[in-house]
Copies of this chain bind each other. A is one copy, B any other.
């Protein structure tokens, strides 16, 4: 909090930093927010946050984080979800959306925003780059930093994306625990267990499920990647082989699994009694197949948001990296850098070592990092040593939140005090 008038004037001459979250939230995006606020506070720079991401910036719905206590800000590190709200809203090209970009600059100008930190995935990196350009074009000197985040692990350049390591840990632990359960039941009951994981386009999370196997033959016995066209006969053959070998089969299936024709299995045309299309998943489709063709009792799980909100099981590596990119983002901004992203650089696999470096947004915006072919085993249903070498360090370490006496984690809800508007009301019109 600002303590005296002279000091205040000095800070106002320096300007304020605006932070916004974008896209799907993760177990650790608030750890990044925590780092941004703590690092800026140490430099005596006030941080405003946009309510619901870029929409808040457009609507001038800003939050004054200087009003939060030190303890509340520190508690963000262990709180899932997005403390200021996020949104799925992509700004188009400067030509198509010029008015909106100009509006952003107007809001920045009105609130003396000198630095804008945009915390999201590939789309956000693109938006951050565009904003940095239009700022210069309109003569408003805002430095823009893209801050990495995504459970999909598909940002280019950075070795790993904050949010991914925790989903990876969640998935591996879920596979290990559920497998112990099914193994106990398989003699007379459930023989096949299918875990559906996120990953519509890439099998990063599916691959992480493979980490549950500490020795050859351990579950998961079958991983179904979106990169590998679903082959029903081969899948059933493998499931049957596992059941015959060890009594049960654990399957990790990506939500983005597609057949040879390129159609998503999850949209396999299931309809209810009224002919309405079901909002299905891949797991129920696979389960029905196993039951019908192999006659085994099947159970399936679809954790959905539980995968990415499970802060109680976050990876310490992930939390540390989420914090580190937030800290670096502020440091880059205050040093006058713009149009860059603090990326994680892996300097060593074993022991695992990493550092943060700035990378130009131009190299990141609109690019997608795909799962290396060399990470999927030749048969298409498992992960390779190369995949393990990459993935293993990302799930290491625990960072359990504090729990209340009531048995629930102590997650913080910020006061989120709004900043008084200075501009006229703004309606985001349809294009």
Contact = CB atoms under 8 A, between A and B. Distances in A.
A230 interface: no
A288 B281 CA distance: 12
A174 interface: yes
B278 A278 contact: yes
A292 interface: yes
A306 B407 contact: no
Size category of the A interface is 35 or more
Contact of A284 (B176, B284, B407): B284
6 contacts: A177-B306, A276-B288, A278-B285, A300-B302, A301-B306, A395-B406
A304 interface: yes
Count this chain's copies in the assembly.
2
A268 interface: yes
A172 interface: yes
Interface of A: 21, 24-25, 52, 55, 79-83, 85-89, 169, 172-174, 176-178, 180-185, 187-190, 193, 195, 211-212, 214, 268-273, 276-281, 284-285, 287-288, 291-292, 298-306, 308-313, 315, 317, 392, 395-398, 400, 403, 405-409, 411
A174 B21 CA distance: 22
A122 to B, nearest CB: 17
Given A177-B306, A270-B271, 15 more contacts: A25-B185, A52-B187, A52-B188, A87-B187, A88-B189, A172-B407, A174-B306, A190-B305, A272-B288, A276-B292, A278-B284, A278-B285, A299-B304, A396-B405, A398-B400
A279 B270 CA distance: 11
A303 B305 contact: no
Q: Which of A55, A193, A308, A309 has the most CB of B within 10 A?
A: A309
